[in-house]
Amino acid sequence: MKKSFLSGIFIFFACVFFMNANSNQRIENSDGTITFTTIDEDKNAVEFKKNYDGFENVTIIYGEKVTKRNPLNIDLSDFGNRTLIMDFSCDIKILDKSGAEKNRITWMINDFANNFPVLCDADVKTGEWTTIKGSLTVPLTEKRTLYVSGGEFDMKNLTFYLKNFNLHLSGEGFGDDKPQQSWLEAESLKNAYKGIFDYFGLAVTENEFTNSSTRKGIVRHADCITMGNEFKPDFVFNWQKPTSFVDFVAEDGKTYKMPKNLPVFDKVDKLLKLCRDNNLTMRGHVLVWHSQTPKMFFTQNYKTGKKAVLVDKAEMTAREEWYIKTMLEHVSEWEQKNNDGKHIITVWDVVNEAVADNASSSQYLRQDSDWFRIFGDDTFIVNAFRFANKYAPKDVLLCYNDYGTNRGQSPKVSGVLKVVESIQASPDARIDVIGMQSHIGIDNPIKGYGSFEESIKLFLETGCDVQITELDVANGKQAYSPIILQSVYKDLYRLFIEYRKLPQKNGISGVTIWGLNDETTWLNSQKEHRGYKQFPLIFEGTGELKCKKAFYGVLEAGKEFSK
């Protein structure tokens, strides 16, 4: 009786001792995710929390005492049969008695069914601290272990030193028992991205923006908005016809008749004011586009109906100049009068979607467009950038914006590059930004051949900055997985951060997500998605929106960079 009582006490103290030795090895974070701060295996071979090389809290692993074939383990058996998002970084130093210059460190999972997924893989030079990093989204089949492959070295010769070890596990089942956070309580995205991009952008509808409670959420997370519709020609012409005319002397010296009663600026002014009052800037979207532009803008005497005939190039060039001038000067004057000349609209989509989907070197322009029907070549594009350069303040950026530009080596990307080349070849034109709309599918490759990264690189070679202007991620015909979407958003924002604009260098200066919540995304009204519901955004719900897992993917990418 007494003996078993004593051995009970002994076991108790042994446990306390062990827990102390390695007590913060596994941390349960407030959002339900888990962080491992060191490895947890091979207790006889490991010393935790040692002072070494002037650092505290170093984990030391003596290879000669390691009994298993593979060292540096983390037991993942609590997380089997679900999809894990693993984000890892660690500083490692290795001493090697054999005199080898370097050792290959491959942290992988012993999951045969999944082909031994690799979390990170790096050469570590003997005697030097090396930071190694990796991320992996992996459907873990059963109880598994993360370990360093011991196949490549002789453990007996090695001593491993680890510091700043951080393995973050999120994904399926983490925090699912916690109530979803409201977007009004969640950490602010615009704060997380301060100093990384010029702005954090969200596209909004007029209803969303004018609704004061929705606006609170918008303003909490974004410092730049794009109006989904209200700055498009259809909307500024307000579906009205010219009722009276005014003479306009175009750059060819000739006089043309322009509508006197149009555009209608009431709504534009109201939205500019709301931006000013809420400390927001705006991407001006859009001046020249084949879509959402009234037919009468392209026709003789502004007629509509079957008998309407397209105007000639000279007249259309004059109308283009007049429209761009009127719009840009109106906004500048408004900013002068109401915002001490400080810009609300800091960048304009001057031309939208002028490149053909199947662009070839001989014909790279979209042909189902009245702009193309009238001009037959890219002069309307180059002219748009000439006029915008003439009438916009010099510090307002000018952007060419298009969709389907997210795979390098694609005809669309080549077509956009040709457009940019033409604009840059014209001495009076200016282009500052290539806008990648980025309505992408969940399978769009992010890195590697034919990837998003490749097209960003190609666009940056032009010397222009890049903005991601209309990001949403469609699940297409695949079942929607909140975790996969989270990891895709995280990887996308990591990519954007990698190519961010740095002083004296062009890069990605801003990213805008196209819409607030899945319930109102434009994608569900698209024919191609009929029968397959899309969940492409980072918030969901109605009224006070809730943060999806994808929200945390975006947030974490910003925070891990700023750490």
Least distance CB 231 / ligand GLA (angstroms): 9
Q: Whose CB is nearest to ligand GLA? A: 522
Least distance CB 129 / ligand GLA (angstroms): 47
The answer to the question of residue 352 lying near ligand GLA (CB under 6 A) is yes
Q: How many angstroms from the chain centroid is the CA of residue 109?
A: 29
- Beta pairing class for 397-402 and 433-436: parallel
Quickly tell me which residue has 């037919």 as its tokens. 295
- Check if 251 is active-site: no
Any idea how long the chain is? 563
Which value, to the nearest 10 degrees, does the dihedral of the CA atoms of residues 339, 342, 345, 351 take?
A: 130
Among the listed residues 499, 522, 532, 561, the single contact to ligand GLA using CB under 6 A: 522
- Check if 470 is active-site: yes
The tokens describing 105, both together, are 């460190």
The answer to the question of residue 524 lying near ligand GLA (CB under 6 A) is no
DSSP run (H or E) holding 190: helix 189-192
Among the listed residues 375, 403, 459, 493, the single contact to ligand GLA using CB under 6 A: 403
> Assign residue 486 a region: left if phi > 0, alpha if psi is -120 to 50, beta otherwise?
alpha
Least distance CB 289 / ligand GLA (angstroms): 7
Q: What is the DSSP string of 262-297?
A: -S--HHHHHHHHHHHHTT-EEEEEEEEESSSS-GGG
Least distance CB 424 / ligand GLA (angstroms): 23
- Determine the size of the site formed for ligand GLA (CB under 6 A): 6
Residues 6+ apart with CB under 8 A from 473: 440, 441, 442, 485, 488, 489, 492, 536, 550
Q: Which C-beta is closer to ligand GLA: that of 239 or that of 449?
A: 239
Q: Which C-beta is closer to ligand GLA: that of 285 or that of 490?
A: 285
Catalytic one of 470, 540, 556, 560: 470
User: Over the Cα atoms of the chain, what is R_g?
Assistant: 29
Q: What is the DSSP string of 313-382?
A: HHHHHHHHHHHHHHHHHHHHHHHHHHSTT--SEEEEEEEES-B-TT--SS--B-SSSHHHHHHSSTHHHH
Q: Which C-beta is closer to ligand GLA: that of 371 or that of 552?
A: 371
- What is the footprint of ligand GLA within residues 420-459 (CB under 6 A)? 437
Query: Residue 414 and residue 472: Cα distance in Å, rounded?
Result: 23
The answer to the question of residue 389 lying near ligand GLA (CB under 6 A) is no
Q: Which C-beta is closer to ligand GLA: that of 22 or that of 438?
A: 438
The answer to the question of residue 42 lying near ligand GLA (CB under 6 A) is no
Query: Residue 287 and residue 321: Cα distance in Å, rounded?
Result: 11
- What is the footprint of ligand GLA within residues 276-295 (CB under 6 A)? 285
Query: Residue 489 and residue 498: Cα distance in Å, rounded?
Result: 14
The answer to the question of residue 540 lying near ligand GLA (CB under 6 A) is no
The answer to the question of residue 551 lying near ligand GLA (CB under 6 A) is no
Build a one-symbol-per-residue string for 92-131: x at contacts with ligand GLA by CB under 6 A, - elsewhere.
----------------------------------------
Among the listed residues 470, 491, 518, 540, the single contact to ligand GLA using CB under 6 A: 470
Helix (H, G, I), strand (E, B) or coil at 79: helix
Active-site residues, by number, are 353, 470
Contacts to ligand GLA by CB under 6 A: 285, 352, 403, 437, 470, 522
